[in-house]
Structure 1
Amino acid sequence: MFKKLVESYLGVSPAEPGQGTAWKVSFHPPWPADWPSWCVLSLFVALIAFVVVISLRDSSALPRKIRVLLLCLRLLSLGVVALFLTGLSLSVERTGLPFAVVMIDDSASMGLVDRYQQEDDRSAIASLVGKQQVESVTRLELAKALLTHDDGQFLKRLQQNHKVRLYRFSDAPVLMGSGESVGPEAIDRLLPEITELEPHGDVTRPGPALKKVLDDLRGTPPAAIILLTDGIASAAAADKLTVVAPEALRRLVPVYCVGLGSSEPVRDLQLFDMLSTDVAFVDDPIDFSAKLKAYGLEGREARLELRRKDDAQVLASETVRIPADGRSLRVDLTFAPTDDGEFDFVLNAAIIPDAKQRARETNLSNNSEVRHVSIRRQKIRVLLADSIPRYEFRFVKHLLERDKTIELHTILQEADLEFSSEDQTALPYFPVKRGELYQHDVIILGDVDPAQLNSGTFDDLRDFVREAGGGLILIAGESFNPTSYRGTPIETMIPVELDRVERPDPASAESERFYPRLTLEGQKGTTIFRFSTDADENRNIWSALPELRWMLRAPALKSGAVVFLEHPSRSGSEGNLPVIAMQRYGAGKVLFHATDELHRWRYRAGDRYYARYWIQAIRYLSRSRLLGRSRAAELTTDRVTYERGEMVSMRLRFFDERLIPSNEEPVNVVVEGRNERQRIVTLAGTAGVEGVFEGMLRRAGPGTYHAWVSSPTFEGTPPSANFRIEAPVQELRIRSLARTELKQTADVTHGGLFRPANCEQLPDVVPAGFSVPLNLEAPIPIWNRWELLVLFVAAVCGEWFLRKRFRLV
């Protein structure tokens, strides 16, 4: 009211219906504009203080009330003078109410009838359509009842703080009515049009429809968008609401979703993400892990069985209870092979029928996964060399001697002459001939003195890794390894820069105690540090491992090297100091230990984790030489059959690590289809998974396709895969309410998801939004108003009269 009175007094024309005004005050002071505010304020405060002191001093003999009155008149006159000097003016800006958009889904799926299970939903629906209609009301009829109930009170309540725009959509949004709805009469005109809506849309694209509305209101973003829909995107995943939700968030537009329909999912059991080792050994247990997810089957039991392809014999099995809808359950099965060869293992999941014989699942195509495993009978040949029998040498030697999958040879440079004859694993000297060296799969170099090696040994070691795909482990020592290898042919393949390596002070060993920390690469990029198949248990094991006391400081890594284990606090030029690092070199790999104290992990645990690490590390490094498989790589798609508009997910997995391309070399897949132009899909490396590249084919038409790898090149036939894209069975193929989709959209945009039970509260929840600026009228000068002049004269005269009365002048 005060605002309207002031505007009327200043001659501002009244606002029209649906409009408002905003005030903007401006100043034009006489002092320089570059004066800081604190300086002006300080001067003003000092002036007031001076005036107060002088006034109180001059009137000290007067009664208190008179003294205060004189002071107020003096300050009033000064305040008016200040207004004169500041050039105060008022600008009145015309504003309009913000938009609130309501979008009604009129696609064919909105013609479905649902049976709502929650009693509060049923009660709310009965209040809208009547009790007899609860079991037969369609989704669109429920939406129309919500908007038209009680003469459109839902829209009229929304209209109190907004201009309402109403759209219907299935594919593209269509504006209903005249556009902006201001006043109850406009809502009354919309109600018949809402009542006539029918679910005729043959495709639902809620994401693009939302994007189109946002673009239409780009200049004046709405305060909120209300969606009355089942959330189904029947054309493609790219049409989902969650794809456009970040754009709505960027424009600060919350989306409120009213979910119409039942979210009860179709009964379906899915098996995915099956993992196993690529190479295994006879009588060595193989862990097969996979994830199980189901819909509509919570509490039921499922049986998982592992078989060889084309063989009915069950190798391993497990029965599990199916978790809640959409929650994944990790399942692990173990099998120890007795035969060597190349085998495809099939893991299959099936529902166990219960006493009630409830409906079985309809989609069985996602119930099994296949993995190829090369099972070898020959042992891994390991050469372990050191200058003296350090603790690490002794413990590694003993555990490898006991392992049936390892054929061990050892060398001690400082051993006496009888050592090689008394120890069955001992060799009299380091292999001189290249052929002798190449008889091994993995070489472990301890603190070996290079002066006691043949002049061509380092060349052979380099070629053993680079050309033959062998594995090399370097264990740092206090005398030679790795600093004495500077300038040798193997320097280039050591993961750390040798010219920056520092040896710690032996006297400070006790004060250097530390607990090494696994990096992300150590957790996800390799299995050599996996002491348990359960991630939480593995973390607990690592947190309980004994501390280490000595390590070489290697602050700089080679380009391409990765750190698996790092110092928890000490850092170098590229992050925390590496404790264990790896570098791929040619066809093989090099693993560098900056410490020789991993044997401390044996404290209280014996060889349980210490041996597991060494065996897994040796197998990891020997994989390239032991692969022995005809397939160098495999190209797969996530499904065989797709519907038009769906993205085809492609995965290329290299089994031969020597063929994994470098970061600079592209991985391209050529896709060929009948009556379709040839297309090239570039695959990118999968983070945390070595040798796996993934990519997507988008917007391909119906037909049969053949995909093959064009880069890198392969000897013989390149990896390939076939798939088919079919024209979709539109709209009604998905019937369940996409509750998760709606919830994510609401959460991302800071809106809300409402059910029939509480959707009538929505107009009270929608934010009022910000007024929309329309036009700015000319500034009204305030500083030269006659009212201020009168006030100034009155204050001066009043003060003069009082001073005259009490003989102060």
Structure 2
Amino acid sequence: MNETFDRWIYWFFAGDAAEQADGLQSSLQWIAPWAPWGTIAILIGGGVLVASIYYRERSTKQAWFKATLAAMRIALVALILFMLYGLSLRPYRTDTPDLVLALDDSQSMSHIDPLSGEEASQIKSRLSAAGYADASRWNQGRTLLLGEDWFDQLQSRYRLKGYYVGDSGRAWSGDIEQWPETLQLAEANRPASRLGDSLTEIFQQQRGRPTAAVVLLTDGITTEGKSLSDAAVVARRRGAPLFVVGLGSRQRQLNASVEDLDVERAAFVGDPLNFKFRFGATGMAGKTAKVTLRKKDDPEILAEKNVTISTDEMTRQMELQFRPTEKGDFTFIIDVEAGDDEVDLSDNQATAQVAVRDDAIKVLLVDSQPRFEYRYLKTLFERQLKPVSASGQPENAFDLTAILQDSDMEYSDQDAVAERVFPASQEELFQFDVIVIGDANPAFLSRSNLELVNKFVVEKGGGVIFVAGDQYLPWLYGGTPLAALFPFQLENAQRPAPPLSSSIPVKLSNLGVTSPPLQVGANTSDTLRRWDSIEQLYWLPEFTSLKSGAQVLATARDRFDPQGDPIPLLMQQFVGGGKVMFLASDDLWRWEHHDPFWMQTVRYLARASVLGGGWGAELAASRNEYERGEPVRLRVRFFDDRKAPTSDQGVTVMIEQAGGRQRRVSLARSSGSRDTFEAAISDLPEGEYRAWIAEPVMSDAPEQAATRFRIEATAGEMARLAADFGELRTAASVAGGTFYTFAEATQLLNDLPEGRQVRIETLSPIPVWNSWKLATLFISLIIGEWLLRKRGGML
């Protein structure tokens, strides 16, 4: 029964008990003398009988008069039946419902948000009036509870329950009179925010007690366990709406980070070093961050870039380029500066070691005729000097040997770099680092010569680049030992049409944009602009069947094969321990950036031969610390890419937790790279870890490649400080409550529901069937009917 009916019952039947109606509830009880259908039958039958009697009554009275008399007679019958049921009133003494006050005491509540404008003035004035010097979230919550007398206003309506909801649901100590002192001495220092779990614990403690509502004062940050939305579902099932006061600012904590730094670990003086990394920023919308590259212990800025941050949370792949001008082993540092407001600086730097050398590269240049490409390359390799030299005197960057098949016998005697015949032995050929094969006639090369070139690539790990010609290469190389080195099927190669009247525009592939040989500009945009500027390409064959391992670095922009793919200009593939490149046109000699392209290409092909040695491999994690559930990205890079496994799944890393079990993880080859293998692991529990390369075994490496990292159990209370008002609004809505800001919180007291009373004691039943009021009503009905009948002359 509802409260109004309860009060009426007490007023009519309970006499003086009606004065005690506050804090009381009641229920009616009876014992039926017969089945319910008997009562209904008596009422219907009696009503029909009384109505028929008065209908037949011989009287001149109006119908309404007879109807009134009939109704009084039927009421008498009903009253008798009511008394026969022996109704009694069962009263219960009740208590006020519970109201839960929950205050978040996690460490993030101690944060002082940067406030400005009218909001700052209002908050600071209210906190100052409550006796608090700083506008921390914790002090804002205590101001509402203590400074604005919430306890006094609420305890007359509810039985108040106070809890902390940081890492668990904990009741406030002492009675309600002691709560002000308790809260004044308390601090927001809990190391984790388990808001969802804490509220669930409170609901378990409230089991069996009617809870009118839960008032939650928090910043909404949950670092572990259930979310507030999960707890809101439980609140809805319990009929306890959430009235949430959001404390703090939604602005994210300002932070900039750099991770996953990747760069070639070995290079020549003058080579472009592309430092690729992932830049992240939070809470910096509209700001600018400065990213710089420098050497360790050297303040000189080698490269820099300003990043304008457009969103509150941003992640971007970035690249800085630098060309070393001296040899040596260097540690480079990528550093990001976000401003003086940044709190966590631990992730603002990343380092990488690079070995820079200036060894002269031994090049074997082979062609059939002195075509323009041959002449330009021969001149470049003969005259190019090192940027620096150990002796201080000019030194050649390349040690060239040239073979021109159609030359006179005396040519080799007149040219210091010319040789008459191709190297006949493995020892002679293996002394070279790179072989450049132009439009050479395979008829002038014995099968053993061709087999030696194959071994040079597969076994020595040397670099070879083929330059297509209109007579021999690649058209006559099908069925030779060199057929396996080409990145396409020779039988499907189609000779080009006669030279065109307009140049073929060139476009770099996504892989080519980051490939070292193609970096002919000061930066990526300059490199793209220079490749786009080619206007001298009039000759390009078509290759329709590329091998599975072929990688396209550059293509024609407006020429396509029958499958709709752009016709490739520059391709590469890894064969055995070496690299093979194929340049499909010999027209690049016309291009103004011909020389930088060729110098970098030869250095790229020679890196394994000149810089490899016994360097082994390195294993690195993208960061030293991870949150639980975050992917741990591991990368293995072979300094000598000839020692990289041929299988794309050929690297295995062993991960061992401190004091725990070991786990094997397979790494996959990174796209477009021969020497790099990667993997991401997301299901590691918290703890300290050590990882090392289990396969392949690097027997000649100076030490085992290994790394360490740590998985944190929580994200850290101060790692994310932006108040999560979105989550708070959702939780309040799901639980049937309302969300308020600090400024709106005074309205909360008026919006709270009354709640349901708690029955705490059963009182003695009060008989209703023999009440003097019923007897008086019975007598009044009889007398009233007699008087009306007499007045109407019906006696």
**Normalized against structure 1, the TM-score is what?**
0.59
Matched, 1:345 2:331: yes
Q: Is the 8 A contact 2:621 2:709 kept in 1?
A: no
Cα gap change, 1:582 to 1:216, in 2 (>3 Å): farther
Matched, 1:712 2:696: yes
Taking the aligned partners of 1:478 and 1:105, their CA distance within structure 2 comes to 82
SS at structure 2 position matched to 1:484 = coil
Match in the other structure for 1:155: none
How do residues 161-560 of structure 1 correspond to structure 2 at under 5 angstroms? 170-172=195-197, 174=199, 189-190=212-213, 193-194=214-215, 204-205=222-223, 209=227, 212=230, 260=249, 263-265=252-254, 276-281=263-268, 284=270, 287=273, 289=275, 305-307=294-296, 314=298, 316-317=300-301, 334-337=323-326, 343-347=329-333, 363=345, 367=349, 369-377=351-359, 379-403=360-384, 404-506=396-498, 509-510=500-501, 513-524=503-514, 526-560=515-549
| Deviation (angstroms), 1:732 | 3.4
Q: Is the 8 A contact 1:482 1:498 kept in 2?
A: yes
SS at structure 2 position matched to 1:714 = coil
Cα gap change, 1:572 to 1:118, in 2 (>3 Å): farther
> Letter of the aligned partner of 2:453 in structure 1?
L
Cα gap change, 1:319 to 1:520, in 2 (>3 Å): closer
> Letter of the aligned partner of 2:459 in structure 1?
E
| Deviation (angstroms), 1:270 | 5.6
Task: Please list the CA deviations of residues 720-751 of structure 1 after superposition, one character each: whole Å capped at 9, or x if unmatched.
Answer: 324253765875343632789999x9xxxxxx
Cα gap change, 1:758 to 1:666, in 2 (>3 Å): farther
Match in the other structure for 1:675: 659
Match in the other structure for 1:14: none
> Letter of the aligned partner of 2:382 in structure 1?
E
Taking the aligned partners of 1:755 and 1:375, their CA distance within structure 2 comes to 65
Q: Is the 8 A contact 1:637 1:721 kept in 2?
A: no
Taking the aligned partners of 1:624 and 1:680, their CA distance within structure 2 comes to 29
**Normalized against structure 2, the TM-score is what?**
0.60
Q: Is the 8 A contact 1:126 1:133 kept in 2?
A: no
Taking the aligned partners of 1:205 and 1:652, their CA distance within structure 2 comes to 32
Cα gap change, 1:618 to 1:505, in 2 (>3 Å): same
Cα gap change, 1:208 to 1:531, in 2 (>3 Å): farther
Cα gap change, 1:351 to 1:400, in 2 (>3 Å): same
Cα gap change, 1:146 to 1:560, in 2 (>3 Å): farther
Q: Is the 8 A contact 1:128 1:146 kept in 2?
A: no
| Deviation (angstroms), 1:592 | 0.9
Cα gap change, 1:538 to 1:211, in 2 (>3 Å): farther
Cα gap change, 1:703 to 1:457, in 2 (>3 Å): same
SS at structure 1 position matched to 2:465 = strand
Name structure 2 gaps, 5 residues minimum: 1-101, 151-168, 170-193, 205-209, 237-241, 385-395, 731-738, 746-795
> Letter of the aligned partner of 1:712 in structure 2?
P
Taking the aligned partners of 1:321 and 1:567, their CA distance within structure 2 comes to 31
Identify the match of residue 611 of structure 2 among 602, 622, 627. Answer: 627
> Letter of the aligned partner of 1:119 in structure 2?
G
Cα gap change, 1:458 to 1:532, in 2 (>3 Å): same
Q: Is the 8 A contact 1:301 1:319 kept in 2?
A: no
Taking the aligned partners of 1:590 and 1:741, their CA distance within structure 2 comes to 55
Q: Is the 8 A contact 2:653 2:695 kept in 1?
A: yes
Q: Is the 8 A contact 2:689 2:708 kept in 1?
A: yes
Identify the match of residue 110 of structure 2 among 109, 112, 122. Answer: 112
SS at structure 2 position matched to 1:431 = coil
Identify the match of residue 734 of structure 1 among 719, 724, 727. Answer: 719
Taking the aligned partners of 1:227 and 1:617, their CA distance within structure 2 comes to 64
Cα gap change, 1:494 to 1:145, in 2 (>3 Å): farther
| Deviation (angstroms), 1:409 | 1.1
Identify the match of residue 691 of structure 1 among 675, 684, 706. Answer: 675
| Deviation (angstroms), 1:559 | 1.7
Taking the aligned partners of 2:211 and 2:136, their CA distance within structure 1 comes to 23
> Letter of the aligned partner of 2:510 in structure 1?
L
Task: Please list the CA deviations of residues 646-684 of structure 1 after superposition, one character each: whole Å capped at 9, or x if unmatched.
Answer: 554322111111222345534221112343111122323
Matched, 1:585 2:575: yes
Task: Please list the CA deviations of residues 41-75 of structure 1 after superposition, one character each: whole Å capped at 9, or x if unmatched.
Answer: xxxxxxxxxxxxxxxxxxxxxxxxxxxxxxxxxxx
Matched, 1:723 2:708: yes
Task: Please list the CA deviations of residues 83-138 of structure 1 after superposition, one character each: whole Å capped at 9, or x if unmatched.
Answer: xxxxxxxxxxxxxxxxxxxxx99461453252433315436758998987997555
Match in the other structure for 2:590: 600
Report which of the two structures shows the higher radius of gyration computed on alpha carbons.
2
| Deviation (angstroms), 1:509 | 2.6
Backbone CA RMSD of aligned residues: 5.1
Taking the aligned partners of 1:260 and 1:270, their CA distance within structure 2 comes to 22
Taking the aligned partners of 1:446 and 1:347, their CA distance within structure 2 comes to 41
Instruction: Between 546-555 and 124-133, report the one with greater CA deviation.
Output: 124-133
> Letter of the aligned partner of 2:497 in structure 1?
D
Taking the aligned partners of 1:633 and 1:504, their CA distance within structure 2 comes to 43
Taking the aligned partners of 1:226 and 1:470, their CA distance within structure 2 comes to 72
Taking the aligned partners of 1:478 and 1:450, their CA distance within structure 2 comes to 14
| Deviation (angstroms), 1:260 | 3.4
Name structure 1 gaps, 5 residues minimum: 1-103, 152-167, 180-186, 219-224, 231-258, 603-608, 746-753, 761-809
| Deviation (angstroms), 1:515 | 0.7
